[in-house]
Protein backbone atom coordinates (compact mmCIF):
# COMPACT_ATOMS: atom_id res chain seq x y z
CA UNK A 1 0.00 0.00 0.00
CA UNK A 2 1.26 3.41 -0.96
CA UNK A 3 2.11 5.42 2.16
CA UNK A 4 1.00 9.03 2.43
CA UNK A 5 3.34 11.49 4.11
CA UNK A 6 2.07 14.93 5.04
CA UNK A 7 4.61 17.35 3.55
CA UNK A 8 5.65 19.76 6.32
CA UNK A 9 2.52 18.34 7.96
CA UNK A 10 -0.70 19.39 6.27
CA UNK A 11 1.04 22.41 4.79
CA UNK A 12 -1.56 23.12 2.11
CA UNK A 13 -4.13 24.04 4.77
CA UNK A 14 -2.12 24.68 7.96
CA UNK A 15 1.07 26.58 8.94
CA UNK A 16 3.93 24.45 7.60
CA UNK A 17 6.34 22.67 9.95
CA UNK A 18 4.36 23.51 13.13
CA UNK A 19 2.67 21.19 15.62
CA UNK A 20 -0.69 22.42 14.30
CA UNK A 21 0.21 21.10 10.86
CA UNK A 22 1.69 17.79 12.09
CA UNK A 23 -1.29 17.05 14.32
CA UNK A 24 -3.61 17.76 11.41
CA UNK A 25 -1.76 15.26 9.19
CA UNK A 26 -2.30 12.65 11.91
CA UNK A 27 -6.01 13.51 12.13
CA UNK A 28 -6.20 13.39 8.32
CA UNK A 29 -5.11 9.75 8.44
CA UNK A 30 -1.65 10.10 6.90
CA UNK A 31 0.89 7.34 7.49
CA UNK A 32 3.49 9.87 8.57
CA UNK A 33 4.88 13.35 8.17
CA UNK A 34 7.82 14.97 6.48
CA UNK A 35 9.67 17.82 8.20
CA UNK A 36 12.76 19.95 7.61
CA UNK A 37 15.53 20.46 10.15
CA UNK A 38 18.04 23.28 10.65
CA UNK A 39 20.27 23.96 13.69
CA UNK A 40 19.89 26.97 15.99
CA UNK A 41 22.92 29.02 17.05
CA UNK A 42 23.14 26.90 20.20
CA UNK A 43 23.07 23.68 18.17
CA UNK A 44 19.45 22.61 18.78
CA UNK A 45 17.69 20.86 15.85
CA UNK A 46 14.66 22.99 14.97
CA UNK A 47 11.92 22.33 12.45
CA UNK A 48 11.84 24.99 9.75
CA UNK A 49 12.25 24.75 5.99
CA UNK A 50 14.32 27.78 5.06
CA UNK A 51 17.80 28.77 6.24
CA UNK A 52 16.27 32.07 7.40
CA UNK A 53 13.16 32.77 9.45
CA UNK A 54 12.06 35.55 7.06
CA UNK A 55 9.43 33.77 4.98
CA UNK A 56 7.60 31.70 7.58
CA UNK A 57 7.81 33.83 10.74
CA UNK A 58 7.51 37.42 11.93
CA UNK A 59 11.27 37.57 12.53
CA UNK A 60 14.37 38.16 10.43
CA UNK A 61 17.73 36.48 10.09
CA UNK A 62 19.43 33.13 9.70
CA UNK A 63 18.36 30.24 11.91
CA UNK A 64 22.06 29.56 12.54
CA UNK A 65 22.45 33.05 14.07
CA UNK A 66 19.50 32.79 16.49
CA UNK A 67 19.42 30.90 19.78
CA UNK A 68 16.58 28.53 20.56
CA UNK A 69 15.21 31.08 23.00
CA UNK A 70 15.14 33.73 20.26
CA UNK A 71 13.55 31.34 17.77
CA UNK A 72 10.86 30.36 20.27
CA UNK A 73 9.72 33.98 20.54
CA UNK A 74 8.78 34.07 16.84
CA UNK A 75 5.36 33.43 15.42
CA UNK A 76 5.37 30.81 12.66
CA UNK A 77 1.72 30.96 11.58
CA UNK A 78 2.99 32.37 8.29
CA UNK A 79 0.15 32.79 5.75
CA UNK A 80 -2.50 31.35 8.10
CA UNK A 81 -2.71 34.43 10.36
CA UNK A 82 -6.49 34.61 10.05
CA UNK A 83 -7.10 31.05 11.24
CA UNK A 84 -4.34 30.78 13.87
CA UNK A 85 -3.08 33.43 16.24
CA UNK A 86 0.18 31.84 17.16
CA UNK A 87 2.43 28.85 16.49
CA UNK A 88 5.98 28.26 17.67
CA UNK A 89 8.84 26.86 15.63
CA UNK A 90 9.00 23.35 17.13
CA UNK A 91 12.21 21.66 18.15
CA UNK A 92 12.78 18.28 16.54
CA UNK A 93 12.64 16.78 20.02
CA UNK A 94 9.12 18.12 20.59
CA UNK A 95 7.87 16.61 17.33
CA UNK A 96 9.58 13.27 17.93
CA UNK A 97 8.22 13.02 21.49
CA UNK A 98 4.71 13.50 20.13
CA UNK A 99 5.16 11.18 17.10
CA UNK A 100 6.76 8.42 19.21
CA UNK A 101 3.65 8.29 21.42
CA UNK A 102 1.43 7.96 18.34
CA UNK A 103 3.81 5.50 16.62
CA UNK A 104 3.62 7.89 13.66
CA UNK A 105 6.28 7.81 10.92
CA UNK A 106 8.59 10.78 10.51
CA UNK A 107 10.69 11.60 7.46
CA UNK A 108 13.43 13.87 8.77
CA UNK A 109 14.93 15.98 6.01
CA UNK A 110 18.32 17.39 6.95
CA UNK A 111 18.58 20.88 5.47
CA UNK A 112 22.34 21.07 5.43
CA UNK A 113 22.90 21.68 1.73
CA UNK A 114 23.42 25.43 2.09
CA UNK A 115 24.56 25.92 5.70
CA UNK A 116 27.02 23.11 6.57
CA UNK A 117 25.80 22.57 10.16
CA UNK A 118 28.64 20.87 12.07
CA UNK A 119 27.59 17.80 14.03
CA UNK A 120 24.02 17.85 12.74
CA UNK A 121 23.83 14.10 12.08
CA UNK A 122 25.12 13.11 15.55
CA UNK A 123 22.88 15.65 17.20
CA UNK A 124 19.74 14.28 15.51
CA UNK A 125 20.72 10.64 16.13
CA UNK A 126 21.02 11.37 19.86
CA UNK A 127 17.39 12.53 19.91
CA UNK A 128 16.15 9.48 18.00
CA UNK A 129 17.98 7.20 20.39
CA UNK A 130 16.24 8.86 23.31
CA UNK A 131 12.78 8.51 21.70
CA UNK A 132 13.38 4.86 20.79
CA UNK A 133 11.80 5.18 17.34
CA UNK A 134 14.47 3.98 14.87
CA UNK A 135 12.01 1.98 12.77
CA UNK A 136 9.61 4.94 12.44
CA UNK A 137 12.26 7.24 10.95
CA UNK A 138 13.35 7.82 7.37
CA UNK A 139 16.20 10.26 6.85
CA UNK A 140 16.56 12.22 3.65
CA UNK A 141 18.69 15.03 2.32
CA UNK A 142 19.69 16.78 -0.88
CA UNK A 143 23.18 16.69 0.68
CA UNK A 144 24.26 13.16 -0.16
CA UNK A 145 27.44 13.47 1.91
CA UNK A 146 25.07 13.63 4.84
CA UNK A 147 23.35 10.39 3.73
CA UNK A 148 26.77 8.72 3.59
CA UNK A 149 27.61 10.05 7.06
CA UNK A 150 24.28 8.85 8.51
CA UNK A 151 24.93 5.45 6.98
CA UNK A 152 28.20 5.19 8.87
CA UNK A 153 26.67 6.41 12.14
CA UNK A 154 23.30 4.60 11.97
CA UNK A 155 23.36 1.82 9.37
CA UNK A 156 20.00 0.41 10.53
CA UNK A 157 17.88 3.53 10.04
CA UNK A 158 16.39 3.99 6.57
CA UNK A 159 17.85 6.75 4.43
CA UNK A 160 16.86 8.15 1.04
CA UNK A 161 18.53 10.52 -1.40
CA UNK A 162 16.50 13.55 -2.41
CA UNK A 163 16.96 14.86 -5.95
CA UNK A 164 15.30 17.15 -8.46
CA UNK A 165 16.41 15.91 -11.86
CA UNK A 166 17.41 12.70 -13.59
CA UNK A 167 20.09 10.68 -11.87
CA UNK A 168 21.35 7.69 -13.87
CA UNK A 169 20.02 4.47 -12.27
CA UNK A 170 19.08 6.18 -8.98
CA UNK A 171 18.33 2.78 -7.37
CA UNK A 172 22.03 1.94 -7.76
CA UNK A 173 23.22 5.43 -6.89
CA UNK A 174 21.39 5.53 -3.56
CA UNK A 175 22.99 2.27 -2.44
CA UNK A 176 26.38 3.62 -3.48
CA UNK A 177 26.05 6.58 -1.08
CA UNK A 178 24.56 4.47 1.73
CA UNK A 179 20.84 4.98 1.13
CA UNK A 180 18.04 2.43 0.78
CA UNK A 181 15.34 4.56 -0.88
CA UNK A 182 14.93 7.41 -3.36
CA UNK A 183 12.87 10.60 -2.97
CA UNK A 184 12.74 12.23 -6.43
CA UNK A 185 10.90 15.36 -7.48
CA UNK A 186 7.66 14.11 -9.05
CA UNK A 187 8.88 15.23 -12.49
CA UNK A 188 11.80 12.83 -12.17
CA UNK A 189 9.53 9.96 -11.06
CA UNK A 190 8.50 8.41 -14.34
CA UNK A 191 6.68 5.08 -14.28
CA UNK A 192 9.77 3.22 -15.54
CA UNK A 193 11.96 4.69 -12.78
CA UNK A 194 9.46 3.70 -10.08
CA UNK A 195 9.19 0.17 -11.48
CA UNK A 196 12.90 -0.43 -11.96
CA UNK A 197 13.79 0.99 -8.55
CA UNK A 198 11.15 -0.97 -6.67
CA UNK A 199 12.00 -4.16 -8.61
CA UNK A 200 15.51 -3.64 -7.28
CA UNK A 201 14.09 -3.38 -3.73
CA UNK A 202 14.44 0.40 -3.51
CA UNK A 203 11.30 2.24 -2.31
CA UNK A 204 10.38 5.38 -4.26
CA UNK A 205 8.61 8.33 -2.59
CA UNK A 206 8.20 11.34 -4.90
CA UNK A 207 7.54 14.91 -3.75
CA UNK A 208 5.41 17.04 -3.74
CA UNK A 209 2.26 15.46 -5.13
CA UNK A 210 -0.82 17.64 -4.80
CA UNK A 211 -3.00 16.74 -7.79
CA UNK A 212 -5.42 13.83 -7.74
CA UNK A 213 -4.43 12.52 -11.17
CA UNK A 214 -0.82 11.98 -10.13
CA UNK A 215 -1.88 10.57 -6.75
CA UNK A 216 -4.07 8.01 -8.55
CA UNK A 217 -1.22 7.06 -10.89
CA UNK A 218 1.11 6.47 -7.92
CA UNK A 219 -1.51 4.34 -6.13
CA UNK A 220 -2.02 2.28 -9.29
CA UNK A 221 1.70 1.81 -9.80
CA UNK A 222 2.17 0.64 -6.23
CA UNK A 223 4.62 3.42 -5.50
CA UNK A 224 6.00 3.01 -1.96
CA UNK A 225 4.80 6.43 -0.88
CA UNK A 226 4.65 10.13 -1.67
CA UNK A 227 4.71 13.53 -0.01
CA UNK A 228 1.71 15.82 -0.26
CA UNK A 229 0.61 19.15 1.20
CA UNK A 230 -2.94 17.76 1.22
CA UNK A 231 -2.86 14.41 3.08
CA UNK A 232 -6.63 14.50 3.69
CA UNK A 233 -7.33 14.54 -0.04
CA UNK A 234 -4.76 11.76 -0.65
CA UNK A 235 -6.22 9.55 2.10
CA UNK A 236 -9.76 9.99 0.73
CA UNK A 237 -8.57 9.06 -2.76
CA UNK A 238 -6.61 6.05 -1.49
CA UNK A 239 -9.57 4.51 0.30
CA UNK A 240 -12.28 5.30 -2.23
CA UNK A 241 -10.69 2.66 -4.51
O1 LIG B 1 11.36 15.74 1.38
C2 LIG B 1 10.61 16.12 0.28
C3 LIG B 1 10.60 17.61 0.07
O4 LIG B 1 10.30 18.21 1.29
C5 LIG B 1 11.90 18.16 -0.46
O6 LIG B 1 11.84 19.48 -0.82
O7 LIG B 1 12.13 21.91 -0.47
O8 LIG B 1 9.99 20.84 0.17
O9 LIG B 1 12.03 20.42 1.50
P10 LIG B 1 11.47 20.70 0.15
MG1 LIG C 1 11.35 19.01 2.92
pLDDT (tens digit, 9 = 90+) per residue, 127-169? 999 888 889 999 999 999 999 999 999 999 999 999 999 899 9
Give the separation between CA 147 and CA 139, rounded to whole angstroms: 8
Q: Enumerate residue ranges in the chain where pLDDT < 70.
A: 241
Give the separation between CA 203 and CA 9, rounded to whole angstroms: 21
Largest CA distance in the chain: 49
Query: 141 CB under 6 A from ligand 1?
Result: no
Query: 229 CB under 6 A from ligand 1?
Result: no
pTM reported for the whole predicted model: 0.97
Query: Is 7 one of the annotated active-site residues of the chain?
Result: yes
**Ligand 1 mean position to 5 CA, how many Å?**
11
Q: Where in the sequence is the domain holding 19, given as residue range(s)?
A: 3-238
Query: 121 CB under 6 A from ligand 1?
Result: no
Which one of 7, 48, 50 would you pick to mutate in the ligand 1 pocket, going by the greatest count of ligand atoms within 8 A of its CB? Answer: 7
The residues pairing with 77 across neighbouring beta strands, listed in sequence order, are: none
Q: Which of 240, 226, 238, 163 is nearest to 33 (CA)?
A: 226
Query: Is 49 one of the annotated active-site residues of the chain?
Result: yes
Query: 111 CB under 6 A from ligand 1?
Result: no
The per-residue b/e assignment along 149-178, b for 16 or more CB within 10 angstroms, e otherwise, is bbbeebeebbbbbbbeeebeebbebbbebb
- Mean pLDDT score across all residues of the chain: 97
Give the separation between CA 8 and CA 58, rounded to whole angstroms: 19
Q: Which of 82, 239, 61, 11 is nearest to 73 (CA)?
A: 61
Number of domains, the chain: 1
CATH, residue 66: 3.20.20.190
Pairing mode, strands 105-110 and 32-39:
parallel
Amino acid sequence: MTEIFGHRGSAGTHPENTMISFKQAYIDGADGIELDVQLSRDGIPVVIHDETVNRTTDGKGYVKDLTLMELKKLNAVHKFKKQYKHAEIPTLEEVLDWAAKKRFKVNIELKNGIVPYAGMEENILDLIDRCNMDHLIIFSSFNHYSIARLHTLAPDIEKAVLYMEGIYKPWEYTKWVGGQGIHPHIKAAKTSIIQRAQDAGVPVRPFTVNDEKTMSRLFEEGCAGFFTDFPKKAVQLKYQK
